Amino acid sequence: MRKQIGLFENGIKPQPYESNELSKVASSRIKASETSLGGRVLGHYETIAKLKSQSITVVDVFRPEGNRKFNNPKRVDNLIQNTGSAYNGFLSPATKRRIDEMLCQWLTAIELNVNLKKQKWEVNADKILPTFVTLTLPAPQVNSDNDIKQKVLKPFLEWLKEDSNSYYLRGGMSGKQKGFGVRGFFWRAEPQKNGNIHFHILVDRFVPWKRIRQKWNECCDRLGYVYYYSLLRRDYFANGFIVNKKKLFRDCKTLKTIADNALVTRKIPERVNPLFRKYLEVLVKYGKPLTKKYIIASAKEIQRIAYEKGLAEGFRNPNSTDIHPIQNLNSITSYVIKYCTKKPKEIPLKDNQEIKYNESLRRDCVYTYEVIKDDLTGKLEKKEVGFDIYRPVFEERKVNGKLWGCAEVLKGSKVKDDEEVVTADDGKKYILKKGETFLENKDSAKALERKPFYQLKYLTSIVRERVVYAPENRNQSPITSECQIVSQAFHDYLEEIISKIGYDIINRLSNNVGPFFEKMQGKIIPLLIEKLGFKSEKSGRNSIVKHSDILEKYSPELYEEYLLHHNHIFNCIYGKAA
């Protein structure tokens, strides 16, 4: 394995590039010119750093001279939808990373440009307020996953996107908005324990929960699910109200969590059952936890009220939605990603099996062993009896068809064959027709037509670089130049954070990622707030500090670059970039 130098090993420090040295390297990439170190340039080792929301990832990448071309035209589609892989029907690790990055950049851009904690819960197409919604089927699923996505989910999303300035003129909905002007949205499909498909949706506008439930139930009833729900409820309560013991157990767990939080924070949530609110008021006043008796009484009361309400409505308004405006969280990014990219639970291997990386196949394999007694020594020995390519098997069923989707604006800019990306003097990127001259005059017609270029990618930089040359003698190994700093700001920031976190923690975390990450000399630097001088919450919950706050403290220069990066993404999504 190639020896790691620089950032993660003491004693060897990369040297900063002089301006003329940078030009030499750039020239060598294009011309592959001869140098005093050896023959032609074979490629470059680049140390690349990505600034994620709660960590920094650093890897070494070898860039061979010339462009590598992929022969498989469906490569990107396979990556996005997991076709042709063991993860077909489940989120693959590669897809999960892609979604993580997209959501992280979108939500971070919102957090840095909108004061979410001051946003009111009101319908306003001009105000951004991320809202997290869970949508479930009110009755057992009888249609295919694809039918439900096409005939239930799709019209629901179209309704969210409709112009918020359009109103119903007649009927029971007269005077109400037709839609809510949602511009950015993301959805994820996954199975419930009962086998039904359900959806997690994130939208960038506040939508009243009553309107969401009303519309979702309307869409579900296109396939008869609300009607079927009403039949099941009528049959269940044929002899009057009865307590659902399974639901009672779940509700008690939820209420206990709410009560425990109220005991710590001395605050009562806005939307709670009236009886439970009375108990919480006593809890907050005297600082004593609720006993099991009061929690059970509250859970039963919740069921009784739901029964009476359902009976009055003919059981035609099922509670099939769950809505959470999330502006008060320390990090909306961490909260959303937790739910939207949740890993399916894998069926564990047998006791005599283990996963190991096979160097010959370059794949993870499952090895099976038997414990055999040696006839001569009498000792028990572990002997390999076979292996197979590792293919994960999950406890839950797979989802057929698309697993997730998002608004077009969250997919970033698309550059056509006759277009190119041009960087302006202010660092912003635009898409122009090939051969066109970039005009800085904002009053010109050409300037008004230029399209901003953006991608929802982490702020990334080449931190340092080494050039690899072919040796003059073919029997010798390739020659590698000294390590040179490309981005001084990134390099200094990494050195500072690494010194605070410590090599032991970084290496322990990085060693668990996998063999490919190890071969790339990959390192994960967790942003542990205690190590970085930030205080934990008094409640004892896991505290989260935004990466922007850490950058502001340790690297003002990189902090400004971080803000510009996310400001550009925000302006491109919400139409303020041109």
Q: Are 572 and 407 in contact (CB under 8 A)?
A: no
Model confidence over 275-315: pLDDT tens digits?
999 999 999 999 989 999 999 999 999 999 999 999 999 99
Q: What's the chain's average pLDDT?
A: 83
How many angstroms separate the CA atoms of 530 and 467, rounded? 38
The predicted structure's pLDDT at residue 169:
66
Count Cβ neighbours within 10 Å for each residue of 430-463 and write b for 16 or more, e otherwise.
Answer: bbbeeeeeebeeeeeeeeeebbbbbebebbebbb
Q: Does the pLDDT at position 16 exceed 50?
A: no
Give the angle subtended at the CA of 40 by the CAs of 34 and 42, to the nearest 5°. Answer: 145
The DSSP code for 240 is S
The predicted structure's pLDDT at residue 21:
37
Give the angle subtended at the CA of 206 by the CAs of 205 and 208, to the nearest 5°. Answer: 140
Q: Are 258 and 272 in contact (CB under 8 A)?
A: yes
Q: Are 353 and 162 in contact (CB under 8 A)?
A: no
151: three-class secondary structure by DSSP: helix
The predicted structure's pLDDT at residue 71:
45
How many angstroms separate the CA atoms of 41 and 573, rounded? 40
Which residue type is seen at 339? Y
Q: Give the 3-state DSSP-derived string for 517-576, with helices as H, strands as E and coil as C.
A: HHHCCCEEEECCCCCCCCCCCCCCCCCCCCHHHHHHHHCHHHHHHHHHHHHHHHHHHCCC
Could you tell me what percent of the chain has a pLDDT over 70? 81
171: left (phi over 0), alpha (psi -120 to 50) or beta: left
Dihedral through CA 288, CA 289, CA 293, CA 296, nearest 10?
Answer: 140
The predicted structure's pLDDT at residue 396:
86
488: three-class secondary structure by DSSP: helix
Q: Does the pLDDT at position 540 exceed 60?
A: no
450: three-class secondary structure by DSSP: coil
Q: Does the pLDDT at position 34 exceed 60?
A: no
How many angstroms separate the CA atoms of 403 and 396, rounded? 14
The predicted structure's pLDDT at residue 438:
61
Look at residues 282, 438, 343 and name the one whose alpha carbon lies nearest to residue 96: 343
The predicted structure's pLDDT at residue 14:
47
Write phi, then psi, for 77 (nearest 5 degrees): -60, -40
Look at the alpha carbons of 264, 268, 273, 278 in this order and tell me if their dihedral is positive or negative: positive
How many angstroms separate the CA atoms of 300 and 248, rounded? 7
The DSSP code for 439 is P
How many angstroms separate the CA atoms of 561 and 558, rounded? 5
Model confidence over 443-492: pLDDT tens digits?
554 544 668 899 999 999 999 999 988 888 778 888 888 889 999 999 99
How many angstroms separate the CA atoms of 233 and 250, rounded? 19
How many angstroms separate the CA atoms of 167 and 170, rounded? 9
Model confidence over 222-249: pLDDT tens digits?
999 999 999 999 999 999 999 999 999 9
The H-assigned helical ranges of 162-273 are: 209-220, 225-236, 245-265
Look at residues 324, 328, 325, 321 and name the one whose alpha carbon lies nearest to residue 210: 321
Q: Which range is least confidently modeled, 158-162, 185-189, 478-482?
A: 478-482
Model confidence over 52-100: pLDDT tens digits?
989 999 999 998 886 544 444 444 444 344 444 556 778 888 888 999 9
Model confidence over 247-257: pLDDT tens digits?
999 999 999 99
Q: pLDDT grade, residue 41 (50/70/90)?
A: confident
Tokens 């307590």 belong to residue? 243
Q: pLDDT grade, residue 212 (50/70/90)?
A: very high
Model confidence over 320-333: pLDDT tens digits?
999 876 755 556 77
How many angstroms separate the CA atoms of 460 and 266, rounded? 42
Q: pLDDT grade, residue 2 (50/70/90)?
A: very low
Dihedral through CA 146, CA 150, CA 151, CA 157, nearest 10?
Answer: 130
Model confidence over 364-420: pLDDT tens digits?
899 999 988 877 777 888 888 899 998 888 888 889 999 999 999 999 998 888 888
The predicted structure's pLDDT at residue 72:
47
The predicted structure's pLDDT at residue 359:
85
Tokens 């009560």 belong to residue? 259
pTM of the model as a whole:
0.80
Q: pLDDT grade, residue 15 (50/70/90)?
A: very low
Q: Are 295 and 252 in contact (CB under 8 A)?
A: yes
Q: Give the 3-state DSSP-derived string for 286-303, with helices as H, strands as E and coil as C.
A: HCCCCCHHHHHHHHHHHH
Q: Does the pLDDT at position 103 exceed 90?
A: yes
Spans of all domains in the chain: 41-81+412-573, 118-238, 245-313, 353-389
Where do the DSSP E strands lie in 374-418?
380-389, 404-406
pLDDT top residue among 335 and 136: 136
How many angstroms separate the CA atoms of 571 and 129, rounded? 16
Q: Does the pLDDT at position 538 exceed 70?
A: no
How many angstroms separate the CA atoms of 162 and 81, rounded? 27
